[in-house]
């Protein structure tokens, strides 16, 4: 893509396999495919939500984008640059453009360092501030996430879960990133606190023009914060489109089941589908044909023998299903 049509980030054909060692009693190592040819794009100033159950590959995709793990196949372009090919000083400089907020702020923050020191660290590493300017910038970042300057003197253990996540967000913002990967950023928080963090992320996007790759198992959360949504199952995208449209009218039976699992105050507010049956198949031994067919309420013989491609079903909507829209 060129010109104004080029997205901030574009991933094409991402694949990742993890090696599972053999047992103590024999057996050879095996390759577990976490991602299988995943592609997506994030325009500047927008949010893409990746949603799916545990083991779907969404966190692996986020860690590849954040350059925390390497892809086995595929490419990622960041504002036109070959993001996965950057090394050394070039990578160190561009890292400021992509930051990540993890699921558990208690685990992602150093318990032995005061909060202010942790927010200041990326400023010093990236040589973005020195001397008094570091402290001033730390206070600005704390204020931007709704915390007073005195929080900079606290240790993470002296803060609540929501306050710790605000600190983690402030640290991610320290380098002035253009894209923030949010990996289940509210799943470890109480509902009311999670709502506050979501509102904060939305506010920061409006104020700073941030883009997000928002990862969650909760389709309702993704619907609230994302412009577009991609649904993953066993390492592959099975449906994608505008977030509100995907949630309102799912085309893939798996998406419809995720919608059915959302707690809805008004049962008539949206169509309901049958909840998910059973557990996802093992990625080590995926089913033949459509990977979802053993759990699918509309599966037919063709589904067990052929793998449906991800194709456009209607304008702006794609699904990997031979019978899209029949459930939901």
Give per-residue pLDDT as tens, 35-86.
Answer: 999 999 999 999 999 999 998 999 999 999 999 999 999 999 999 999 999 9
Query: H-type helices in 152-264, by residue range?
Result: 161-173, 191-208, 219-225, 243-248, 253-260
**Closest to 260 (Cα-Cα) out of 280, 237, 276:** 276
Q: Could you say which DSSP state residue 320 is in?
A: -
Determine how β-strand 179-183 pairs with β-strand 98-101.
Answer: parallel
Q: For tokens 């109480």, name the residue.
A: 190
Residues 83 and 71 sit within 8 Å (Cβ to Cβ): no
Q: Which two tokens stand for residue 32?
A: 């577990």
Checking if the pLDDT of 168 tops 50, the result is: yes
Rounded Cα distance between 48 and 15, Å, is 19
Instruction: Tell me the per-residue pLDDT of 245-287, one tens digit each, with 9 for 90 and over.
Output: 999 999 999 999 999 888 665 655 555 555 666 777 788 888 9
CATH architecture of the domain with residue range 6-21+30-108+177-319? 3-Layer(aba) Sandwich (3.40)
Rounded to whole angstroms, what are the CA distances from 99 to 4, 172, 206, 217, 308? 24, 6, 18, 21, 35
Contact 101, 43 (CB under 8 A): no
What does pTM read for this prediction? 0.92
Q: What is the reported pLDDT for 283?
A: 83
User: Residue 173: pLDDT above 70?
Assistant: yes
Q: Where are the domains of the chain?
A: 6-21+30-108+177-319
Task: State the CB neighbour count (10 A cutoff) for residue 9.
Answer: 23
């Amino acid at each position: 893509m060129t010109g104004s049509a080029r997205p901030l980030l574009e991933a094409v054909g991402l694949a990742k396999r993890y090696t599972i060692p053999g047992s103590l009693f024999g057996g050879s190592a095996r390759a577990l495919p976490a991602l299988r040819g995943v592609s997506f794009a994030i325009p500047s100033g927008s949010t893409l939500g990746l949603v799916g159950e545990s083991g779907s590959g969404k966190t692996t995709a986020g860690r590849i984008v954040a350059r925390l793990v390497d892809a086995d196949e595929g490419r990622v372009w960041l504002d036109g640059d070959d993001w996965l090919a950057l090394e050394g000083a070039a990578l160190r400089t561009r890292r400021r453009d992509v930051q990540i907020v993890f699921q558990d702020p208690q685990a992602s923050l150093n318990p032995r360092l005061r909060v202010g020191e942790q927010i200041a660290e990326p400023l010093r590493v990236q040589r973005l501030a020195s001397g008094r300017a570091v402290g001033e910038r730390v206070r600005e970042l704390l204020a931007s996430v709704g915390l007073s300057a005195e929080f900079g003197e606290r240790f993470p253990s002296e803060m609540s879960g929501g306050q710790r996540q605000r600190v983690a967000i402030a640290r991610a913002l320290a380098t002035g990133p253009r894209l923030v990967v949010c990996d289940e950023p509210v799943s470890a928080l109480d509902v009311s606190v999670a709502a506050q963090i979501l509102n904060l992320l939305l506010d920061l996007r409006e104020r700073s023009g941030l883009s997000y790759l928002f990862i969650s198992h909760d389709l309702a959360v993704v619907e609230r914060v994302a412009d577009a949504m991609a649904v993953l199952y066993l390492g592959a995208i099975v449906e994608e489109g505008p977030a509100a449209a995907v949630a309102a009218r799912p085309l893939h039976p798996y998406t419809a089941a995720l919608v059915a699992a959302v707690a809805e105050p008004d049962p008539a507010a949206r169509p309901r589908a049958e909840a998910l049956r059973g557990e996802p198949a093992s990625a080590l031994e995926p089913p033949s044909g459509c990977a979802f067919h053993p759990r699918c309420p509309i599966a037919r013989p063709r589904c067990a023998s052929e793998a449906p491609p991800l194709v456009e079903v209607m304008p702006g909507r794609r699904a990997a299903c031979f019978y899209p829209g029949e459930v939901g």
